[in-house]
């Protein structure tokens, strides 16, 4: 039986907190807004949506478990005490030959690769002092917690990524690099 899970591609952006995943994805989303073949995925998270957090759909823990049991997710995982998922509709989009871009988690790469046959993992990085400054500006964590996050990010390193983008400089630089990867993949598939 042929593998029908995927005909297009899923581009997953991973990296430590403070690397700027949401900002770089948002930049690409704005620039590629006219492309119906490109889907920017809203993750589902068991965290309330707030102005200072990523743009996501929220579910309670019980509702998340029910949705998972009902098969409404393409893939789900646990990280930082929360549950995350990509909606099942992503499989449909990619199965029709489209490209989807999602904010992922380094610890979920194996599960994501198991759910999608064609995955490109983009590892977003930034210098440790840049990450620390960004986390500090959010005002959500103590200096000790920030130090721990930066250390953890350095330890995890480049787990499972196919391509690395450094987001230490201007957002435009990393954003254009992501766009090049997305559009380069699409031109290869045409």
The CATH number for 165's domain is 3.40.50.300
Residue 88 falls inside a structural domain: no
Residue 18 falls inside a structural domain: yes
Measure Cα distances from 129 to 34, 98, 147 in Å: 36, 37, 10
Q: What is the C-alpha separation between 148 and 42, in angstroms, rounded? A: 28
The lowest-confidence range among 11-25, 48-62, 129-143 is 48-62
Q: What is the token pair recorded at 7?
A: 């005909």
Average pLDDT, the chain: 84
For the chain, what is the domain count?
1
Q: Domain range spanning residue 104? A: 9-41+96-189
Q: 169: pLDDT confidence band, cut at 50, 70 and 90?
A: very high
Residue 28 falls inside a structural domain: yes
Residue 133 falls inside a structural domain: yes
The lowest-confidence range among 12-16, 125-129, 138-142 is 138-142
pLDDT attached to residue 32: 96
Tell me which H or E stretch contains 120: strand 119-125
Query: 31, 35, 33: which is closest to 8 by C-alpha?
Result: 35
**102-136: pLDDT as tens digits:** 999 888 999 999 999 899 999 999 998 988 888 88
Which residues contact residue 83 at a Cβ distance below 8 angstroms, ignoring those fewer than 6 apart? 45, 46, 59, 61, 64, 76, 77
The lowest-confidence range among 67-71, 77-81, 100-104, 174-178 is 77-81
Residue 134 falls inside a structural domain: yes
Residue 101 falls inside a structural domain: yes
Query: 20, 30, 32: which is closest to 185 by C-alpha?
Result: 32
Residue 23 falls inside a structural domain: yes
Which residues contact residue 114 at a Cβ distance below 8 angstroms, ignoring those fewer than 6 apart? 75
Residue 179 falls inside a structural domain: yes
Query: 9, 12, 24: which is closest to 184 by C-alpha?
Result: 9
Q: What is the C-alpha separation between 190 and 188, in angstroms, rounded? A: 6
């Amino acid at each position: 039986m042929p593998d029908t899970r995927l005909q297009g591609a899923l581009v997953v952006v991973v990296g430590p907190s403070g690397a700027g995943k949401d900002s770089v994805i948002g930049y690409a989303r704005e620039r590629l807004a006219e492309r119906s073949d490109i889907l920017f995925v809203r993750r589902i998270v068991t965290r309330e949506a707030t102005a200072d957090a990523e743009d996501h759909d929220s579910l309670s823990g019980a509702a998340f478990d029910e949705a998972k049991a009902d098969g409404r997710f393409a893939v789900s995982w646990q990280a930082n005490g929360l549950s995350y998922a990509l909606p099942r509709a992503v499989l449909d989009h990619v199965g029709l030959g489209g490209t989807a871009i999602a904010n992922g988690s380094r610890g979920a790469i194996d599960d994501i690769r198991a759910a999608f046959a064609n995955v490109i993992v983009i590892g977003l990085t930034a210098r440790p002092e840049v990450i620390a400054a960004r986390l500090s500006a959010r005002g959500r964590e103590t200096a000790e917690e920030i130090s721990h996050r930066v250390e953890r990010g350095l330890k995890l390193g480049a787990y499972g990524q196919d391509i690395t983008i450094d987001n230490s400089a201007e957002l435009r630089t990393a954003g254009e690099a992501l766009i090049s990867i997305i559009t380069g993949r699409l031109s290869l598939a045409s």
